[in-house]
Structure 1
Amino acid sequence: MGGVDVLSDLLHRARARNTLVRQLIQRPPWSVTFADAAPLTVVAVLGGGASVRLDDLDASPARLAAGDIALIGATGRCTIADSPSTPPEVVIREGRKYRVGGGEPVDGTSWNLAPRTYGDGRPGGTTMLRGVCELHGEVGDRLLAMLPPLAVVPAGPRTRPALELLAAEVAREEPGQDAVLHRLLDLVVVVALRAWCAGPGPVLPAWYRALSDPAIGEALRLLHEDPARRWTVAALAAEVGMSRAAFAACFAALVGEPPLTYLTGWRMTLAADLLSDTDATVAAVAREVGYEDAFAFSVAFKRTRGTSPSLWRREAR
């Protein structure tokens, strides 16, 4: 098996942007509410402990120990504190800091310890990293759909080296530092996502579970590697060494939908992002995702997205 794997394909196409990494070093008690969370937030505790609560959801706070990573896919209010019982002290809204109950923003310079580092800096407290990033388009939504609103990845040997790299770089101020932090945050997200998927208990999408099957995993890889190819069920079955009937039944059982239905959904995901991101004509987008007939593409797009490609493009922009 060679070429692109499905998770790597999603991560590449979802290419995180507008990343931001900050470090907190603070003695208890402390509590910070983020009023407008990013589509994906990473919280990692390097020392001490922290509590993460999604304020808009009726769920218990998650407790993080040193080395734990939380992946937050919910975009509502989120409170991070030393303890669930610590009342909120400050609210961060649109990048500005406000005291709880106060209307005017407060000067945050007294909190600044170093580049991208804030808190009181006193020993014996919590050292925490918080990274935010915006995943791109419909592919990013597909990736986020793998996660619950709050996924906690326990400390482990596979995630620790990436965290240590990010922690070593966050307070530095050198040429290209933002690019370094962007890539290291990507690395932390990937290893944490992979560790979470491999752990006990997560309810993963059927397509992800199907990757562990050699034949169906290979078929999914082929569909992602060359989605524009004029695939048939028979051609896919031949590629993975199965009979057409056995392959179709196995694919539907593991993935939850027939092969060509999966392919159409993936093509429409790619097409939605092409329409949003490029000035290519509808006919050109249709060809890019495997449709020679722009009318057939428009019908398929409207059936899956509820609107025409042209209207989708106007609304996206």
Structure 2
Amino acid sequence: MTEPRFHLPADAWVGTVAAADGWPLRVMLATAEAPRGVLLFLNGRADFLEKWAEVYPDFLAAGWSVLSLDWRGQGRSGRLSGNGAGQIDDFATFVSDLDMVARWARARPGLAALPWVAAAHSMGGHILLRWLAGGGGAMLHRAVLLAPMCGLVTPRWMQALAGIAAAWRRARGQGEGFAWGQVAYGGRQQGAARRLLLTSDARRFADEHDWLARDPALALGGVSWNWLHAAQASFAVLARADLTAVRLPLLMLLAEREALVSNAAARAVASRLAHCRLRMISGAAHELLREAEPMRGEALRTLLDFVDVAARVEERA
């Protein structure tokens, strides 16, 4: 077994925060040496805190204390079924969990007075957009959406068929089962085909699996019919939302080689936001901050330059 190259910051607080319904959410708060602000980092589906351990020192070195969490049902925030499938009945639950963790952190000494920004990857980007559209995130000064999940690349006819199948399965009490083509965590998730969907950096791809070999309890497989139904319903909620009311300056970074989420759907969402800047990272696959160089460096520098404005404004005030 290969020892993981990157670990959570040694002095980070890692513990449990209770969601609104009491569900235990695993949360990390890492404090920068001389914090200029707080960066809320939201990871993606099936992710866990350790998977993104390489990027936390980059944020901390730039003066941003880092707040992150394992989403309900993944990482060490429990499981919503026993079969290893990704589950959720309603993405509103994720939005509520995000709001609760942000409120918990804001109540800690000294954090409310600092500038707050967010960086949200894939499903995390979708949840952040739902939170903002629903009037949350009032503490944020700026936010970056990294390959946000605004839609899937699957053809529309196939998504419609899957939606019908999901409704049929759920009506028969089979919603927790794996959706078509989805399997428990195993060799498929470690294979070259999946790697090419995520990153061209083989070593960074292996970092995830080094952690899962060390701590198999972190592993999560493909999505269930419940998750698929909830995702489609949440895309519809986002499509109906009045995004013109979101006045937050946003930066959306898209991956040129995106093959998981829909860049077209992300652009359509960006066009409805009053203050959203778009940038394509040439040559990059889905996981922009786990890509090979120079793509990762470009995405990271662009992100930090964008959120740095919030800290500089506060420092001049």
* TM-score in same-fold range (> 0.5): no
Please say which structure displays the higher CA radius of gyration: 1
Which is strand-richer, 1 or 2?
1
TM (norm. structure 1) is 0.28
TM (norm. structure 2) is 0.28
